[in-house]
Chains A and B, each alone.
Chain A
């Protein structure tokens, strides 16, 4: 389970499981794969988590390929099983978008769809036994392998920042730079008196600014935190397997129970991420009529 050279202790096992396969510019070794958390940290910003990218891009390509295949053969006639399934998902997303998004934008539904399916698939990797893929990877010489991309904050921040960029873009596009600035500075404290109004601007900017910045942070950390904690519990349960017959048996039962419960979290977090995206973008499209 653990790589040679690393003590097979509980903390070593956990640390090993939480380490990404990092490729980057090391100050001493140059462009290389990090051999441990320290080297990875020394690489700083210029490093790639190869496992995160591999699994997330792989899963993304997989689901896009499948839906593209179905879409190409889609007809208005009696749908086959695959088309039925794809239509069921797309109808579900469409209903959600229509329920939460009041504006008119053809990008929102595909965006929500991509986010939901992509995050769901990435989350579902959590249900693969924690040791299986890392073990296989070690067998072919890859020292670290973290298979759930959404337990890497880079992945969740990447998506949340993408959504945040769209929120900023549509806020300015729909309300104008002036309207957007007004939204940030003239709320929540208002006054008819121009001087008091001027005094309120920095306070409002602080409050609204925090509010605005909190969106992508909470958006990504919610997903990351839930999945990271779920993964952590799987790892902790897996440690029980080496703790004798009774603990191992108990561990099997716990693993099963946690996996069942985790299905809920996996689905729920993907759904929440999608819903929040729709809501944020709806707010960005919403032009207040009292200003």
Chain B
């Protein structure tokens, strides 16, 4: 239990140990701890940022979807309107075309009727003349009575 030189040796080794610890042990381990702390903090911040960004993206997607839906509805409405317009137009055109065809047919029919009448008249005249000629063959000169006969034809 004597106090002796051991005390000095202990004092010196203590000082050396503290110095060594301060120089070679403390910095790398504390450095690693701090670096990890920073990494974790960065990671957490990044996660937070990612979450925030995701929220924003979701919001944007929702907005975009609503907009698109609106546009689609508008387009459909336009298309329907256009379709009904087209149908109406076609109906009008068809009606006009029908009318035109009808009128053409009618005109043709009239023409045909007129032509038939003309032929019929000519034939009746010929028949009448031949009949009358047969009846009057002896008394009537065809040349003398030509005016009469023409007048008759015109009145038929």
Contacts and interface: CB of A to CB of B under 8 A. Distances in A.
Nearest to B36: A76
A47 B20 contact: no
Interface stretch (A84-92, A230-238, A247-255): A84-92
A87 B28 CA distance: 11
Nearest to B8: A158
Interface in B86-124: none
Contacts of B20: 64, 68
A107 B17 contact: no
A202 interface: no
Contacts of B11: 158-159, 161-162
Interface residues of B, number: 33
Contacts, number: 132
A44 interface: yes
**Contact-residue size bin, chain A (C-beta under 8 Å from the other chain):** 35 or more
A106 B17 CA distance: 15
B10 to A, nearest CB: 3
A52 B6 contact: yes
Interface in A84-118: 86-87, 90-91, 94, 106-107, 109-111, 113-114, 118
28 contacts: A24-B5, A40-B2, A43-B4, A48-B9, A49-B6, A53-B9, A64-B20, A67-B25, A68-B20, A68-B24, A70-B29, A71-B29, A76-B35, A90-B29, A94-B30, A110-B18, A110-B25, A111-B18, A114-B17, A114-B18, A152-B1, A154-B3, A154-B4, A154-B6, A154-B7, A155-B10, A158-B11, A159-B10
Interface of A: 18, 20, 22, 24, 40-41, 43-49, 52-53, 56-57, 60, 64, 67-68, 70-72, 74-77, 79, 83, 86-87, 90-91, 94, 106-107, 109-111, 113-114, 118, 152-155, 157-159, 161-162
